[in-house]
């Protein structure tokens, strides 16, 4: 037999074998090969090759393409087999398996708890919009050669900071201590922790108002309630404008209701209500005298540092402000920061 010098394009043949259905492959391959040799003998090799490629490409159609065999059954059987082998090994080495599984579970649990703790720490105080610029003014005092730090400050310091360093702060607000107070309306009475504050405090805290306004404390007879306090006193009815009393002696009306401060805030469980500073000054006679007393450290002072000011620089500026206003400054050497 004479060897044929011309054969169908090898690449086209491989392509055809790669996709054509098995039940069609033998018949189609034979037909294309027969047609190829016929075209070579009757026309030309180039024409035969081009026609062969054309016919191969024409078979790239859905009806002729080989369907991928599903491996789901095989995979299921494989995993089932792996599971059986693994289970047998567990039963065969119970002690070793218990140690490994217990160690893995404990490690994953600890890692998860650490991750949750880190997330919680990083979110601390983020409830407050300007949390990175909210500060509490404190002081150092020296007695018998020992330096003590405290958050208690004198009332006149608030006005002194506003007058002398007002451009370094967006808001400055004096505040009382957070104590339990009796809030009442009609026969309904509850005990809640809260503070008396100056007008800037709601802005410093970025209270999220549900009704009413942060500016309500401009009215000395107004009070801001947390949502839980308002619900405890007034139920589902609108609390705005409702009359109530603080400690059964101070008459106020509700000027606003704010979202409860979350647990990851420094003010959590401290401010279930905020009442006005002017109202506070009328509640006790000694408070009026304290307005001029630099040696009466009975109050708190909060502030929001201005956007262009640096906290450390402002702290250094105000360091000697109290010492400049008291005569016996060398005795305790007070330093504000």
Query: Would you state the pLDDT for residue 68?
Result: 59
**Domain match, 113 and 178 both:** no
Same domain, 180 and 305: yes
Q: Could you tell me if 326 and 193 lie in one domain?
A: yes
What is the domain extent for residue 16? Answer: 10-58
250 and 199 within one domain: yes
Residue 249 lies in a domain: yes
Residue with tokens 């109530």: 244
Q: Which residues of the chain have pLDDT under 50?
A: 1-4
Quote the pLDDT of residue 329: 58
Phi, psi of 219 (to 5 degrees): -90, 115
The reply to whether 111 and 208 lie within a common domain is no
**Do residue 259 and residue 284 come from a single domain?**
yes
Residues 221 and 321 in one domain: yes
Per the domain annotation, does 295 fall within a domain?
yes
pLDDT at 2: 40
Asked if residue 249 and residue 218 are part of one domain, the reply reads yes
Are residues 157 and 76 part of one domain? no
pLDDT at 239: 97
Domain tally for the chain? 3
Tell me whether residue 301 is in a domain.
Answer: yes
On whether both 218 and 110 belong to a single domain, the answer is: no
pLDDT of residue 77: 78
Residue in 81, 85, 65, 84 with CA at minimum distance from that of residue 73: 81
Q: What is the pLDDT of residue 79?
A: 80
Query: Are residues 127 and 261 in contact, defined by beta-carbon separation less than 8 angstroms?
Result: yes
Same-domain pairing of 139 and 118: no
């Amino acid at each position: 037999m004479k060897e044929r010098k011309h054969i169908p394009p090898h690449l086209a043949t491989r392509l055809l074998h790669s996709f054509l259905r098995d039940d069609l492959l033998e018949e189609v391959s034979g037909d294309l090969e027969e047609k190829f040799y016929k075209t070579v003998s009757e026309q030309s090799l180039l024409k035969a090759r081009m026609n062969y490629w054309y016919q191969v490409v024409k078979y790239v159609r859905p009806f002729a393409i080989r369907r991928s065999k599903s491996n789901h059954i095989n995979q299921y059987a494989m995993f089932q087999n792996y599971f059986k082998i693994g289970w047998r090994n567990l039963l065969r080495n119970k002690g070793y398996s218990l140690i490994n599984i217990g160690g893995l579970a404990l490690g994953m649990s600890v890692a998860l708890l650490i991750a949750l703790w880190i997330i919680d720490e990083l979110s601390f105080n983020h409830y407050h919009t300007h949390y990175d610029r909210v500060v509490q003014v404190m002081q150092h005092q020296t007695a018998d050669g020992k330096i003590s730090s405290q958050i208690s400050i004198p009332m006149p310091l608030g006005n002194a900071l506003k007058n002398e360093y007002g451009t370094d702060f967006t808001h400055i607000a004096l505040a009382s201590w957070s104590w339990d107070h009796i809030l009442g309306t009609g026969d309904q009475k509850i005990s809640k922790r809260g503070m008396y504050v100056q007008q800037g405090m709601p802005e410093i805290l970025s209270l999220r108002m549900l009704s009413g306004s942060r500016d309500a404390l401009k009215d000395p007879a107004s009070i801001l309630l947390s949502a839980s306090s308002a619900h405890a006193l007034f139920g589902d009815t609108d609390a705005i404008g409702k009359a109530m009393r603080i400690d059964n002696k101070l008459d106020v009306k509700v000027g606003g209701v704010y979202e409860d401060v979350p647990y990851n805030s420094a003010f959590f469980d401290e401010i279930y209500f905020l009442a006005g500073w002017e109202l506070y000054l009328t509640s006790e006679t000694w408070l009026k005298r304290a307005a001029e007393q630099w040696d009466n450290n009975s109050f708190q002072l909060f502030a929001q540092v201005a956007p262009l000011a640096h906290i450390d620089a402002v702290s250094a500026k105000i360091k000697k402000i109290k010492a400049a206003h008291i005569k016996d400054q060398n005795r305790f050497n007070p330093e504000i920061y």
